[in-house]
């Protein structure tokens, strides 16, 4: 019985590994029009009897302002061009900080893995799958593709996913034409895009926008991400 169970488990593992590799390989070239998180937000809105319309508009990397790309790197993952999916220094700092609430240390790559391939939640199984998919996208995709997907699927407002949709909704312009301050404000709401507003920024968002703008300059501007 144990041998049969082991055989079935091994076959399932092989199928999963093969399927996940193919899935990631396909999405290296195909736009990510919908994600599990978008679906879950739509379901949550339906249950709450709220508007279920999803605002999302895929744009290729070349049609997005480099200021927007730099802003999310400066805000979310400054070591993005250099790491292989995991920033172990940030992970260590997050684990050793003496706070009541431990801060996150997820890289942009980890956030893409979670948003595109998995559900949101806290469990060892989901975290293990996040590690696996993070490794896969770092190996199969390149950094520019990872950042391109992030800029198109990250939630940047209530029911609003991707920088193009956010820019059109809140600035009435394409993401290609975002200024540094506008891009920084979009990045400023990323910790909680439902609570924080791009259109009506709180004092916290205004302060964080300035901090991100300064970090963008400190990184050297757009040339920091030129080699992705």
For the chain, 228 residues long, the average pLDDT of each consecutive 10-residue run is 72 89 96 94 91 94 97 95 82 58 71 92 88 96 97 95 96 96 96 92 96 96 91
Q: What angle do CA 212, 127, 143 make, to 5 degrees?
A: 45
The answer to whether 196 and 157 are in contact (CB under 8 A) is: no
Q: Tally the C-alpha atoms within 13 A of residue 154's C-alpha that lie toward its C-beta.
A: 30
Q: How many CB atoms lie within 10 A of CB 31?
A: 13
Which residues neighbour 157 within 8 Å (Cβ) at sequence distance 6 or greater?
55, 165, 166, 169, 170, 189, 193, 194, 197, 198
Q: Which among 149, 165, 156, 169 is positioned nearest to 61, based on CA atoms?
A: 149
Domains of the chain: 16-225 (1.10.3810.10)
Res 90: pLDDT: 66
Res 91: pLDDT: 65
| Rounded Cα gap, residues 73 and 2, in angstroms | 48
Res 86: pLDDT: 86
Res 27: pLDDT: 96
Instruction: Give the burial string for 48-60 (b: 16+ CB within 10 Å, else e).
Output: eeeeeeebbbbbe
Res 100: pLDDT: 47
Res 96: pLDDT: 62
Res 12: pLDDT: 82
Location of structure tokens 């093969």: 18
Q: Which among 55, 46, 33 is positioned nearest to 163, based on CA atoms?
A: 55
Res 103: pLDDT: 40
Q: Which among 133, 156, 172 is positioned nearest to 205, based on CA atoms?
A: 156
């Amino acid at each position: 019985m144990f041998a049969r169970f082991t055989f079935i488990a091994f076959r399932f593992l092989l199928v999963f590994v093969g399927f996940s590799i193919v899935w990631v390989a396909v999405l290296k070239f195909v736009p990510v029009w919908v994600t599990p998180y978008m679906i879950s937000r739509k379901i949550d809105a339906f249950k709450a009897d709220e508007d279920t319309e999803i605002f999302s508009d895929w744009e290729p990397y070349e049609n997005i302002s480099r200021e927007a790309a730099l802003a999310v790197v400066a805000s979310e993952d400054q070591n993005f061009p250099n790491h292989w999916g995991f920033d172990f220094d940030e992970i260590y700092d997050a684990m050793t900080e003496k706070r009541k609430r431990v801060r996150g240390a997820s890289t942009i790559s980890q956030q893409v893995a979670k948003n595109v391939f998995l559900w949101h939640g806290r469990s060892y199984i989901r975290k293990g799958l996040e590690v696996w998919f993070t490794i896969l996208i770092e190996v199969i995709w390149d950094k520019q593709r990872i950042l391109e997907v992030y800029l198109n699927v990250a939630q940047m407002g209530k029911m609003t996913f991707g920088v193009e949709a956010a820019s059109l909704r809140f600035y009435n312009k394409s993401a290609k034409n975002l200024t540094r301050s506008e891009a920084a404000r979009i990045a400023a709401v990323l910790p909680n895009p439902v609570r924080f507003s791009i259109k009506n920024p709180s004092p916290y968002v205004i302060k964080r926008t300035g901090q991100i703008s300064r970090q963008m300059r400190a990184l050297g501007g757009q040339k920091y991400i030129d080699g992705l």
